[in-house]
Amino acid sequence: MRRRTLLKGMAGAAVSATASTAARARGRQRNVLLLISDDQGLDLGCYGTPVATPRLDGLARVGTRFSHAFAAVSSCSPSRAVIHTGLYGHQNGMYGLQHDVHHQSLLDGIETLPSLLSRAGYATALVGKKHIGPDSAFPFEAELVPERSGIRDVREMAVAAASFIRSTNDRPFFVTVAYSDPHRAATDYGNDRPWPGVKPVTYDPAKVHIPSHLPDLPDVRRDLAEYYESLSRLDTGVGMLLDLLAESGRADDTLVVFATEFGRTAYSQGGVGDPSSGRDHHGRCFTVWLAGGGVKGGMEYGSTDDFCYNITANPVHLRDFHATILHCLGIDHQRLTFPFRGLDAKLTGVEKARVVTELLA
């Protein structure tokens, strides 16, 4: 098995392809709305997990959903850096976590989607969690609702993102909304209080679905029940944002990307809830997929063997993922270069990337 094949990137879904094509015919540039959840595995209704996520499932139904996706790095900051640069961690320099004593950052001169698209005239904003650096590599015009410990106010995030989108008028926009859900919180998964506009969906630990790699233990069941409740809150927040996007009149020409940076943290090394125990990210289960205009609807793409380990058909690397997004924005990735360490580098990497034309409407 080729390592680069194993480390393939993003799985996807797309909406409003016909309307988006019409929008481009009117001369309007496509927008990008990038939604990133935190520490989520293959846990949505559309992936066969019995959890209430109707809005995300609906988004997947009308688009192209990749059925098997693998993150390039099983760590938060490095994975987010790969999403924003299209480069492996050893290429972009983000080898570890960005916060606290770790203080990892991109190498000087590395380009990112927000910096590139800002120069192309896009209005850019980050709503929620950042956890990447340096700031100079991520020149968002606005950083809204910054991450706060224990706060899972998905309505506040939706309103902030929609307000920024409305303020852009006719400018194209690139907006990243980075949720804290379903990351573990100090108390369970942020389910210790009511959140505005969210009707909690609770799960009976005795009846929850247990992934095959986890043991059937009472603590595991309780942990999964809290995790699934957080997922349903995330789904509610995404639904709020999609409704506000539609009200703004910009939905038809917006490419929506839904992604997690890597897999679930349900259960852990040591006792569940013990602050001294480690987090055991499941190394082979990641939910990373797209949703957006200009891509075929109602299809799945990619497959693995019966163990969901080896890719057997239609691998899509992060280089290809970025090339395809740029193509949807009318940008030829092969002409988009920047000088780096004496080389003519590309956002999609120094190795050849391809536009995944099989997905395009």
Q: Which residues are known to be catalytic?
A: 76
Secondary structure class of 27 (helix, strand, coil):
coil
Burial class of residue 210, CB neighbours in 10 A (0-12, 13-18, 19+): middle
For residue 63, give the nearest of 289, 318, 330, 326 by alpha carbon: 289
Distance CA 211, CA 37 (A): 19
* Alpha-carbon gap, residue 103 to 96, rounded angstroms: 8
Pairing of strands 303-304, 311-313: antiparallel
- 160 to 177, 178, 306: CA distances (angstroms): 10, 12, 42
Residue 299's contacts (CB-CB under 8 Å, 6 or more residues apart) are 64, 65, 359
Q: Distance between terminal CA atoms of the chain? A: 31
Judge whether 291 and 258 are in contact, CB under 8 Å: yes
DSSP string, 274-329: -TTSEE---TT-B-EEE--TTB-SSEEE-EE-TTS-SEEE----HHHHHHHHHHHT
Reading the block at residue 214, the tokens are: 């986890």
How do the residues of the chain divide into helix, strand and coil, expressed in percent and rounded to 5? Answer: 30, 15, 50
Cα radius of gyration rounded to whole Å, the chain: 19
In degrees and rounded to multiples of 5, residue 41 shows phi and psi of -95, -155
